[in-house]
Amino acid sequence: MAPKAPMAPGAPKAPTRRTVLAAGIAGITAVPALAGLTGCSAEEPRPGPAAGPQAAADTLVMLIRHGERPYPGDVGEDDEGNDDPGSLAGRGRRRAEALPALFAPSARVPLPRPASLFVCGGPAARSRQTVAPLAGALHLPLRDRIAVGKEAALARAVLAAPAPVLICWEHHGFPRLIQALGAAGAPGLPAAWPDRYDLVWLLDRHRGTWAFREQGQHLLPGDV
């Protein structure tokens, strides 16, 4: 074999077999790590913007005033037949007995059958007396734990209850209730309940917007 030529001073050394083998092993072991780093740095799907508050659920709230009260100086009759100024007058009793017909399919303008019934809590019995026949016909409980003056609490309970909701209340509390429901801006909504017992107010919330309409009961002679 011919003798190797001497290397020039400063020239790089030729790689040895051991150096080449070590480099190959290093390259093999580096591939998975490189792949892992590439995967981390690659663009991944980013979560979208945080969802805002859920849209208010659709609901229907129907308002009625209790039946007719006694004239000043007169008295109504409680459930035991005793004289009671806080109970309904005779015409109010007749309205209460006729109220289930308002939600029958045969009604002049049938209303949606209520799924929840709210009446005033407290000593005055008129709202409870007005809706009791309807509650019996529909086999629904009367929710009477909230008193007049607590309309903000009533609104929270109403919006959490199964709809449609029927509320029988003292008419002077309706503006506070409607404000608490968030429905005060509904087009056409009167500022106050008129001096009548034969009306139904319907507040319909659809996609977060309230709509209002008024409907007569047409239950007794003289109802408009």
Instruction: Residue 134: count other Cβ atoms within 10 Å of its Cβ.
Output: 24
**What CATH number has the domain spanning 59-216?**
3.40.50.1240
pLDDT number for residue 56: 77
Compute the distance between CA of residue 189 and CA of residue 135 in angstroms, rounded to an integer: 28
pLDDT number for residue 192: 95
Give the domain ranges of the chain: 59-216
What is this structure's pTM?
0.74
pLDDT number for residue 22: 42
pLDDT number for residue 93: 96
The half-sphere exposure of 116 on its side-chain side, counting CA atoms within 13 A, is 20
Compute the distance between CA of residue 224 and CA of residue 222 in angstroms, rounded to an integer: 6
pLDDT number for residue 109: 80
Contact 203, 186 (CB under 8 A): yes
Contact 67, 95 (CB under 8 A): yes
Mutual orientation of helices 90-98 and 126-138 as an angle, nearest 10°?
20
b vs e for 164-193, b when ≥16 Cβ sit within 10 Å of the residue's Cβ?
bbbbbbbbebbbbbbebbebeebeebeeeb
In tens, the pLDDT along 93-109 reads 999 999 999 998 888 88
Confidence of residue 167 (pLDDT cuts 50, 70, 90): very high
pLDDT number for residue 24: 41
In tens, the pLDDT along 11-25 reads 445 444 444 334 443
In tens, the pLDDT along 75-98 reads 898 888 888 888 999 999 999 999
pLDDT number for residue 162: 97
Compute the distance between CA of residue 61 and CA of residue 181 in angstroms, rounded to an integer: 10
The dihedral through the CA atoms of 195, 198, 199, 200 has a sign that is positive
pLDDT number for residue 61: 98
Amino acid identity of 132?
A: A
Residue 224 has pLDDT above 50, yes or no: yes
Residues 6 or more apart in contact with residue 121 via CB below 8 angstroms = 144, 145, 146, 147
- Of residues 180 and 124, the one with the higher pLDDT is 180
- Of residues 146 and 1, the one with the higher pLDDT is 146
pLDDT number for residue 145: 95
pLDDT number for residue 81: 83
